[in-house]
Structure 1
C-alpha cells in the first residue's frame, strides 16, 4: 500500500474515531451553544445601546470577543480526543491496525487539529450571524469574514495542536487539561500580577498571552506584536507536538 493511500485510510479512521466518542459531540455542541449564546448577548446589547458600537465595525468584530471561549473549548476537545483511546486501552488495537506509528501520529495530529479548528470557526461564523440578526446595519461583509477566519484560524489551529501535543505527551485527559489551562489562562494571569520583570517577560512568552494579543490586540507587554504572538503560539504548539510525538514513537503505548 502506498504511503498516501495508507495515510488517507488512517485519516478516515481517525475521523470516525473522533465522532464515535461521546465527548467529541458534547464539546462541539457545548462550544457552539456558548459562542452563539454570547453572540446573542453581544447583539442584544448592541441593539439596545447603539452608542457603544465602534464606528465602522461589523458583526464579525462583535463575535471576535468569543475567541477565547472558543480557544479553551477546542484545546480541551483536542486533548480529550487525542487521549481517548489511551484512557480506554483502545490504543493497543489501534497500533495493531496501524503499526507504523509515524503514520498514526501524522494522521491523528492533522485530523484532530483540522476538525476541531473547523468546529471553532463554524461556531464563530454562526455567532456572527446571530449578532447580525440583532443589529443588521452592521452587516456581514465577506471580506471581513475571511480576514477574521484567517486571524482566528491561526489562533485556533495553534491551540488545537497544543492540545493534541499535550494529550499525546501526558496520555491523560485530566493532566493535559490542567497543563492547557495553566499555559493559556492561569500562568499569564498569575505571572503578570507579580512585581518582577522576569515574571512579566515569562508571561509574555506563554501561549495564552499570544492568543490574548491576537484576539484582542493587547497583551501583558507593550513590546508584543502580531508576529511575535504568532511565533510564540506556534513554538509552544510544535514543542508540545514534539514531546507527544516522541512519547508515541519511542515508548510503550499502553504505559
Structure 2
C-alpha cells in the first residue's frame, strides 16, 4: 500500500544514494564556513566593512553556498527526468503529487538542518577571530540567533524555488539558467530602474528577501523580516504549485 510515509522514505533513500547530493551539500558547507573564516581572519576594526551587520558579514558565504543547494534542488527534480528514473517513480506512485510533496519535504528537512548547523558553526568560528574587533557578537545578542536561523530559512526557501523550477522545466540546464537569470540576475537589473514601484517589487524578490531574513539589524531599503519570510514562502509556494498542476495534466 502506498502511503505518504513510504513515499517520503523512498525519496529520502534516493536523495542519499546519489553522489551529487554529497557533493553539493559538502560544497555548500565548505563555502559558507570557508568564507566566514576568511572574513573573520582578514577583518580589521574601522575598515570598510565596519558598518556591515555582524551576521551578514560572517555568513557572507551563504550566497555561494545557497547556489550549491539550489543546484541540489534542481537535480532532485529535473535530474530524474534527465535519467528517465521519473517514469519508474510515477509508475510506483500513480497519484503523482505525493512524489513532489515528498521531494519538497525531504529537501526542506535536510537543507534547513544542514544550513542551520553550518550557520551556527560558522558564526561561532568567525567570532573567535572577531573577538577583539567592533564586529564582536554573541548568539545571545539581540536579533543574532533569529538572523542565523533566518539565514538558514532563506537559503532553504531559495532551494525550494530551484526545486520547483526543476520540476516545471524538467531540464537541469534550463532550470539552472532560469534560477540564475530570474532569481539572481533579474532583480539586480530591475534595481537599476529609477521607479519606486520597481524598488518595492525588487525588495520582495527571493534573493533580496533572503538577505533581509539573515540580518540581525534592519537593512536599508529592505523588507522587514516578517515581510521577507512571507515573500519567500509565497515564491516557494508558487514555484511548487506550477509543477503540481502540470503533473496532473501531463502523461509523465
- Residue aligning to 1:101: 96
- Residue aligning to 2:7: 10
User: Could you say what the CA RMSD is over the residues aligned between the two structures, in angstroms?
Assistant: 2.7
The one of 32, 35, 60 equivalent to 1:35 is 32
Q: Is 1:111 matched up with 2:106?
A: yes
Alpha-carbon displacement from aligned partner over 1:77-131 (angstroms, at most 9, x marks no partner): 2122222211100011112222231221221111122212223223223322431
- Residue aligning to 1:123: 118
Deviation of 1:168 after TM superposition, in Å, equals 0.9
Map 1:1-255 → 2, pairs under 5 A: 1=1, 6-46=3-43, 49-51=44-46, 62-135=57-130, 138=136, 140-141=138-139, 146-216=145-215, 217-218=218-219, 222=221, 224-253=223-252
Change (3 A) 1:68 1:104: same
Q: Following the alignment from structure 1 to structure 2, what is the Cα–Cα distance between the partners of residues 155 and 11?
A: 23
Deviation of 1:204 after TM superposition, in Å, equals 3.1
Q: Following the alignment from structure 2 to structure 1, what is the Cα–Cα distance between the partners of residues 209 and 66?
A: 12
Q: Between Structure 1 and Structure 2, which shows a larger proportion of helix residues?
A: 1
With normalisation by structure 1, the TM-score equals 0.82
Q: Secondary structure at the match of 1:250?
A: coil
Alpha-carbon displacement from aligned partner over 1:183-208 (angstroms, at most 9, x marks no partner): 33211110111234454344234222
Change (3 A) 1:200 1:66: same
Change (3 A) 1:157 1:151: same
Q: Following the alignment from structure 1 to structure 2, what is the Cα–Cα distance between the partners of residues 116 and 183?
A: 22
The answer to whether the 8 Å contact 1:70/1:120 transfers is no
Q: Secondary structure at the match of 2:94?
A: coil
The answer to whether the 8 Å contact 1:192/1:203 transfers is yes
Q: Following the alignment from structure 1 to structure 2, what is the Cα–Cα distance between the partners of residues 130 and 224?
A: 29
Change (3 A) 1:85 1:105: same
Any stretches of 5+ residues in structure 2 without a counterpart? none
Deviation of 1:51 after TM superposition, in Å, equals 4.6
Q: Following the alignment from structure 2 to structure 1, what is the Cα–Cα distance between the partners of residues 249 and 219?
A: 40
Q: Following the alignment from structure 1 to structure 2, what is the Cα–Cα distance between the partners of residues 74 and 200?
A: 27
Change (3 A) 1:140 1:199: closer
The answer to whether the 8 Å contact 2:119/2:152 transfers is no
Deviation of 1:17 after TM superposition, in Å, equals 0.9
Any stretches of 5+ residues in structure 1 without a counterpart? none
Q: Following the alignment from structure 2 to structure 1, what is the Cα–Cα distance between the partners of residues 103 and 16?
A: 13
